């Protein structure tokens, strides 16, 4: 029986959530073993290399999302010929991108020492090329994974990816623990990426047999124009976004030290882990939202968006409060007190996580509607502003200055421009309506966060494990109770309560 949009969203979200939980738990173990086996400097090199290779992926910026959006309508209408044409175009472009990334990576190699301040690792060059090889290989099968996600079957890839990552993480941790050899660790990761992509490619060939058909029509001029416009708009947007995200580590490594990148990466790993859980919700509903916008009225799409945005707000408020209250006691258990950074680093990191998280609710509607053109240059301007402010403040107040630069540049631009264009062009709703509603919610979140943070400081148990557990119970329960008290009369809350009751009823009777 064919699944509805809601059923597919629930399936995608549930599977992604379970996958994130397993991978994150194993990831924390892997990171602890990495630090104690080869040292925090290698952790910094790992983060730096990841950022450099992410910047190289700028060539891909916009293509995957644009193709994904272009697939929503033909998938909804079962237009196989258009799907075939888009996928053939996608495959050709990605093969060219793999070649371009390899060439750019080799040309960049002589400049690598500039970003490795205070580095004493003798094998940094080998590490760089292993990261480059992994990045190049990932391009060769990405187009099929995009089709699977756009067809609201992301859970299939998630299951396969989770099983592979579990096995590989176990092997990597075992090898690292007994050999203390980071090169072997990376070689295993590269090999597993190749095997995983090849296997999943074969699975998708069987699921979508038309991908192997030779008779594929060329895209029409109108299709090419629309696709080209979306890709160009997304390129500048993604360029700015990636540059903004990755410039922080580059500034830290070149002005402060590679070791500081490693220390701060423990915080970003924790934030990313929590973000990964929440993102399973937004990624699980984006394709369904795209299908809805393509086939329903603006009024219905807006009503659904408000529910999605409300759930997103609730999840990010709960997550931000937990991060604020529990990060330090968690790191004390996970790595030790030597890895705890100044309080200001934590506060700014959590505020950034929270505000960017709220914007991700807007991103669901933006990407689902294919609204890439109006604000295409905003992320680029933001990235330039972020780089300038971060460099100036890094020399004055160190790591905190880099984070403040990122926060200020985000608040000045992306934080308000994204919702402005979405409300104007997708829903035809006044932007002031969003500002008032969102402003009240943000103020409430800050009050809840501040109150619970002060109260949880009074919980001081001698056993660090029970201390963390009690603080987690207090923070988790009280943040949700306070949100329920404030919003129990809201229409969106009533809808979500009914939906949860329906899901529980179905689970019990299936």
Mean pLDDT of the region 389-416? 94
d(CA 282, CA 305): 11
Please state the domain extents for the chain. Answer: 5-509
Can you list the alpha helix ranges (DSSP code H) found in 335-413? 343-369, 378-397, 399-412
Residue 342 gets which letter from DSSP?
P
Question: Tell me: the pLDDT tens digits for 214-223?
Answer: 888 887 888 7
Does 1 score more than 50 pLDDT?
no
pLDDT top residue among 17 and 252: 252
Q: Is 462 helix (H, G, I), strand (E, B) or coil?
A: coil
- Where residue 4 falls among pLDDT bands split at 50, 70, 90? low
Q: What is the pLDDT of residues 432-491, one digit of tens each?
A: 888 998 899 999 999 999 999 999 999 999 999 999 999 999 999 999 999 999 998 888
pLDDT at 136: 86
The reported pTM is 0.76
pLDDT at 285: 60
Average pLDDT over residues 394-403: 95
CA 507 – CA 510 distance, rounded (Å): 5
Q: What is the pLDDT of residues 49-88, one digit of tens each?
A: 887 877 776 656 557 666 776 777 787 778 888 888 888 8
From 204, 260, 213, select the one nearest 394 (Cα to Cα). Answer: 260
What is the rounded CA–CA span in Å between residue 420 and residue 312?
18
346 versus 238: which is more confidently predicted? 346
3-state secondary structure of 3: coil
């Amino acid at each position: 029986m064919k699944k509805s949009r809601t059923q597919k969203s629930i399936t995608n979200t549930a599977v992604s959530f379970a996958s994130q939980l397993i991978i994150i738990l194993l990831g924390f173990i892997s990171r602890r073993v990495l630090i104690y086996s080869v040292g925090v400097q290698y952790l910094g090199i790992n983060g730096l290399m990841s950022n450099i290779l992410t910047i190289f992926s700028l060539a891909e910026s916009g293509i995957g999302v644009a193709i994904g959006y272009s697939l929503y309508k033909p998938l909804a209408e079962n237009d196989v010929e258009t799907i075939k044409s888009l996928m053939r175009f996608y495959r050709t472009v990605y093969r060219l991108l793999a070649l371009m990334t390899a060439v750019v990576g080799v040309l960049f190699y002589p400049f690598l020492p500039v970003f490795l301040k205070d580095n004493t690792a003798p094998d940094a060059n080998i590490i760089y090329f292993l990261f480059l090889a992994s990045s190049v290989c990932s391009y060769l099968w990405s187009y099929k994974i995009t089709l699977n996600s756009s067809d609201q079957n992301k859970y299939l890839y998630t299951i396969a990816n989770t099983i592979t990552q579990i096995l590989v993480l176990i092997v990597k941790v075992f090898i690292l623990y007994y050999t203390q050899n980071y090169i072997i660790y990376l070689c295993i990761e590269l090999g597993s990426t190749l095997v995983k992509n090849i296997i999943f490619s074969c699975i998708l060939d069987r699921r979508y047999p038309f991908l192997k058909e030779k008779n594929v029509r060329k895209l029409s001029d109108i299709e090419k124009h629309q696709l080209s416009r979306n890709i160009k708009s997304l390129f500048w947007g993604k360029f700015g976004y990636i540059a903004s995200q990755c410039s922080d580590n580059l500034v830290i490594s070149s002005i402060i030290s590679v070791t500081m990148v490693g220390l701060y990466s423990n915080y970003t790993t924790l934030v990313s882990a929590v973000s990964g859980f929440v993102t399973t919700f937004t990624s699980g509903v984006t394709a369904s939202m795209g299908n809805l916008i393509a086939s329903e009225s603006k009024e219905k799409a807006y009503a659904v968006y408000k529910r999605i945005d409300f759930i997103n707000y609730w999840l990010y408020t709960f997550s931000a409060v937990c991060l604020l209250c529990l990060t330090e006691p968690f790191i004390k258990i996970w790595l030790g007190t030597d890895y705890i950074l100044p309080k200001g680093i934590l506060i700014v990191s959590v505020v950034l996580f929270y505000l960017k998280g709220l914007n991700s609710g807007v991103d669901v509607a933006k990407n689902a509607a294919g609204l890439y053109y109006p604000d295409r240059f905003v992320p680029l301007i933001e990235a330039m502003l972020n780089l300038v402010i971060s460099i100036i403040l890094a020399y004055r107040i160190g790591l905190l200055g880099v984070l403040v630069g990122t926060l200020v540049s985000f608040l000045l631009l992306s934080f308000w421009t994204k919702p402005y264009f979405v409300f104007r062009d997708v829903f035809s709703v006044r932007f002031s309506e969003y500002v008032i509603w969102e402003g009240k919610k943000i103020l409430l979140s800050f009050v809840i966060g501040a109150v619970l943070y002060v109260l949880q400081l009074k919980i001081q148990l001698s056993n660090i494990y029970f201390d963390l557990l009690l603080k987690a119970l207090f923070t988790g329960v009280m943040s949700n109770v306070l949100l329920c008290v404030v919003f129990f009369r809201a229409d969106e809350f009533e809808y979500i309560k009914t939906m949860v009751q329906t899901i529980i009823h179905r689970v019990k009777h299936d």
